[in-house]
Amino acid sequence: MTHHPRTRSCRRRAALLVAATLPLLACGIARAADPWPSRPVRIVVPYGPGGAVDVATRKVAQLLSTQTGQSFVVENKPGATGTIGVSQVARAPADGYTLVANDTTYSLLPHIFKQLPFDPAKDLQPVSAFIFAPMALAVAADGPYRTLDDLIARARAKPDTVTYGSGGPGTTPHFAAEGLALATGVKFMHVPFKGAAEATQAVLGKVIDFQFASTTGLMGPAQGGQLRLLAVSGTKRLPVLPDVPTFAQAGVKDFGVINWTGLWAPKGTPPAVTERLQREVAKAMASQEMQTFATKMGAEPRAVDAAQFARILADSSTMWGNVARSIGYDAK
């Protein structure tokens, strides 16, 4: 059988193309099989720098980078009670290279927005929670309030004149302050900021009277003598703050809000990736470096897996839903 020269030429070109493509396919297969993380991981913090979520996440990212040999880079994307940064991650590829960090505020979102730019159940999956910290009420150290009674008495005498700051409507500090107002029968005035760190600066500058925040974000200025903490949540005083009473000791019963920080990944992230991430977070929390860091911040460096985290989210959502309805803030 005689082959036409053009046919033989086409076959040679096809053979050369296949030969050239095989190394690329092999490279692609090898790359797909690369263990996670094989390139830098981005962690979005949906609030401004310097707040509790930012401080805790940056410390965890530092340890994860050391443990895995790959960079974990924190990016601040504040705005709209954290929904801007969260929605960006909800739309990201589910490959383990884009994560979002948040705190208890995440479980508040369905109660304060009638419509979210993402679906918490369908677009994101909880990975691990860590850094469990009490909430504290902070005032300027050289201000007029020496005790929680002083502040409550002022608010009772002059409703809506005692001001407090938060990272925005619907954040955990906002609801914590409103929960305190409900528990004590007073009315405060809410002044929203872009983040907890801005609210702290406003307290220090006496622009506002007080702030609720996690001890993780307040410990620096508190130990530096700039802030006075009037009370902390939880059942006992913190060893690092022995002179600060609990809310119960200061006269407000059943006020035990604990703020946690955690990581979420886009829905559909491979189980092998999320399981590895859980192990690395648990390892970081067990390290002496994190134990020391957390103790100084008045926090507990405890890691929980995705299943436990999901239960924490459900319980938190129920609690904040009750608060939202009590203050007429429920979006439903």
Residue 208 lies in a domain: yes
152, 241: one domain: yes
**pLDDT digit string, tens, across residues 50-100:** 888 999 999 999 999 999 999 999 999 998 889 999 999 999 999 999 999
Which domain range does residue 224 map to? 134-250
> Considering Cα of 90, then 92, then 96, then 99, what sign does the dihedral take?
negative
Regarding whether 230 and 150 lie in a shared domain, the answer is yes
pLDDT at residue 86, rounded to an integer: 97
Question: What region, left, alpha or beta, does residue 38 occupy, with left being phi > 0 and alpha being psi -120 to 50 degrees?
Answer: alpha
At 14, the pLDDT band (50, 70, 90 cuts) reads very low
Residue-wise pLDDT tens digits, 188-207: 999 999 888 999 999 999 99
Whether residues 242 and 150 share a domain: the answer is yes
The CATH number covering residue 146 comes to 3.40.190.10
Q: Is the pLDDT of residue 208 over 60?
A: yes
216 & 162 share domain: yes
CATH number of the domain that residue 283 is part of = 3.40.190.150
Answer whether residue 15 is part of any domain: no
Other residues' Cβ atoms within 10 Å of the Cβ of residue 141:
15
In a shared domain, residues 88 and 138: no
Structural domain ending residue among the three candidates 250, 279, 301: 250
Domains identified in the chain, total number:
2
Q: Are residues 306 and 236 in the same domain?
A: no
The whole model's pTM is what? Answer: 0.80
pLDDT in tens, 147-161: 999 999 999 999 999
Whether 6 shows a pLDDT value over 70: the answer reads no
The pLDDT of residue 27 is above 60 = no
pLDDT tier, 24 (very low <50, low <70, confident <90, very high otherwise): very low
Based on its alpha-carbon atoms, the radius of gyration of the chain, rounded to whole angstroms, reads: 25
